Structure 1
Amino acid sequence: MSITMFISCTNDSADNEAVNEEVAAELRALGFNTDDLIATTMRGEEGYLVERDIFLTDEDIANLAPRRSVDNGNEVNTEHYRTNNIVSTPRVLNIYFDDGFTRSDVQAAFDEALDRFNALNLDLTFQRANAPGADIDILAERLGRVRGNIILGQSAGFPDAAGNPATPIILNSAVYNPRRGGVPADVVTVIAHEIGHAIGFRHTDFFDRSFSCGQGGDEGDAGVGAIFIPGTPAGPENGSWMLACSSGTDRPFTSGDQTALTTVY
């Protein structure tokens, strides 16, 4: 399953198409909010943009099954969450960062993102790979806008049932490899955010995207699970690296983020 993540919003308009009610009903049955549902094309694939954050094809929708997010038999609605599948451990994850990102400051931001994970002494170790075909490839591509959203990054989804991370991740080279001017301050956070999805973390405000995005509702279980991570704060946490929308600023791991990462890995 391929899931595409978007993080930033603008007021620019973008073309979109109406979605038939049958598809919308299927998505609502899976727990998605369909208020902003549109049909669109992403990287040559036809599909639907759901919750302004998730790109699903017809095949993806057919493969999803309605499930509820529970912890010890109780439905949860609190802070940090992971998917049903996580990466098997202990493991060294080799991550390739596209040499199409020619700016030294962006390459340094990638190294800083890996350092943030490694500083926590997890059972996952993150290291730079020299060529594509790694456990996770982070690739450069100019991405457009969808319904006024600047697409900062696209994640391939979440870990598979065999315990492998999702790959590839696409970062918008128009934003993070600009020909002129500086790189946005959120570059390290966006890289770490997309890696977070690849290893199994949901948005910390998935149950109410308006917390970080200013609009939007519950993303739902989405067929991949949203399991509460014990010990993390109740309610949305300002500054979390896994908030649904970027604030344009750098967000190092909060204490809650660190607890989530060390609990899972």
Structure 2
Amino acid sequence: MFQRAAVLVVSCGTVLVGCGPDPKSENQEILSNLIEAGFAADDLLVVDEAVYVERDAHVSLEASREMLQPGEGSAEHYRTTNLVGTSVTKICINPTSTFNSYSQLSQGLDLAIQNYNALALRIFFARGPTTGCTANISMQTTTGVGGSAGFPSGGLPYGTIRIGTGLQSYSLDMNEHVITHEIGHTLGLRHSDYYSQVGCGVNEGTAGVGAIHIPGTPTTFTVGGSIMNSCTPSNPTGEFTSSDITALNYLY
């Protein structure tokens, strides 16, 4: 199994001060909100003054507060209580010049966008810069071979995806898989095996209202059963499985 690398984020800057509210106090509230929402404490990670769950999904203060609001559902696909609102119809993914300089990452992004647009959802994705965007996602690079994103907040998809430049050395299918996976997080999809990551050796624990089962999808983990599994197989196809398609069509 191809395990995602530990996340790395850059905040306001290592030498800057006074660039916003005290991140430590905000993080304390975020952690408290996530635990109250049902996330296991050992599933939460603070890296460079940012809070992550499931090792690659950043949670903002606003998003953590939204997770405490009543939501539908019960407890193979699970979503957060935060989804992209109906006012969002065209999401533009805007790669940085550095991202574009890596051919495998750049082509992987094109294929990931094609994956979503082929489903004819109410949300259409476009590679920026372009016009007519009702929401934007910045596609950036980081170190390693993993990726990181976050969950929707305020009806908008999470605004930043970071992809490890080490993926340049992997197949195009691998790049397509990782980028498609991270886009899924920005739409509110959790890891489909959040409760039992056998392949990665990590159990993220139950997540209460933060892990709502999507009707019509399996409730048990299957290796290779979803592009939203926490670990990437060694030879992925980069394509959605039938349960991925069911989940996305149900939500969007």
**Paired residues for 1:80-159 under 5 Å:** 80-89=77-86, 91-101=89-99, 102-130=101-129, 135-140=136-141, 142-143=142-143, 152-155=146-149, 157-159=150-152
Cα distance in 1 for residues equivalent to 2:203 and 2:182: 20
Cα deviation for residue 154 of structure 1 reads 1.8
- Identical columns (%): 33
Number of residue-to-residue matches in the alignment: 222
Distance change in 2, residues 1:195/1:258 (3 Å): same
| Native 8 Å contact 1:34 1:50 kept in 2 | no
Q: 1:86 to 1:184 in 2, by over 3 A?
A: same
| Residues 121, 164 of structure 1: alpha-carbon distance in 2 compared, 3 angstrom cutoff | same
Structure 2 gap segments, 5+ residues each: 7-27
C-alpha distance 53-212 of structure 1, shift in aligned 2 (>3 A): farther
Q: Does 1:168 align with 2:160?
A: yes
Whichever residue aligns with residue 8 of structure 1, its letter is R
Indicate the residue corresponding to 1:8 in structure 2: 4
Aligned to 1:192: 180
Q: Trace 1:202-217 onto structure 2 (pairs within 5 A).
A: 202-208=190-196, 210-217=197-204
State the 1:233 CA deviation: 1.7
SS of match in other structure, 1:213: coil
Distance 2:43 2:212 in 1: 25
- Counterpart in 2 of 1:13? none
- TM-score norm. by structure 1 comes to 0.69
Q: Which portions of structure 1, spanning 4 or more consecutive aligned residues, are displaced by more than 3 angstroms?
A: 25-30, 34-40, 47-57, 59-70, 181-185
1:230 maps to what in 2?
A: 215
Could you say if the C-alpha distance between residues 169 and 117 of structure 1 is closer, same or farther in structure 2, counting changes exceeding 3 Å? same
2:230 alignment partner, one of 221, 229, 244: 244
1:136 counterpart letter in structure 2: I
In 2 relative to 1, CA 151–112 (structure 1 residues): closer, same or farther, beyond 3 Å? closer
Q: Which digits, 9 at most, give the CA deviation of each residue in 1:65-95, with x for residues without a partner?
A: 6578762xxx43xx21122222123611111
SS in 2 for 1:186: helix
SS of aligned partner of 2:199: helix
Query: Do the aligned residues in 1 keep the contact of 2:195 with 2:203 (CA within 8 Å)?
Result: no
Q: Which runs of 5 or more residues in structure 1 are unaligned?
A: 1-6, 11-21, 144-149
Quick one: distance in 2 between partners of 1:114 and 1:219?
A: 31
- Distance, in Å, in 2 between the alignment partners of 1:130 and 1:207 is 38
Deviations 1:132-184 (A, max 9, x none): x96111112x33xxxxxx561121x21123x21111111122x134xxx5557
Change in CA separation of 1:80 and 1:50 when aligned onto 2, cut-off 3 Å: closer
Q: Distance in 2 between matches of 1:122 and 1:65?
A: 24
Go from structure 1 to structure 2 and tell me whether the alpha carbon gap of 1:151 and 1:263 turns closer, same or farther (over 3 Å shift). same
Per-residue CA deviation, residues 243-263 of structure 1 (Å, 9 max, x unaligned), is 122224324111100100111
| Structure 1 vs Structure 2 CA RMSD | 3.4
Aligned counterparts of 1:62 and 1:123: Cα–Cα separation in 2: 26
1:38 deviates by: 6.2
Alpha-carbon distance in 2 for matches of 1:62, 1:232: 25
TM-score, normalised with respect to structure 2: 0.72
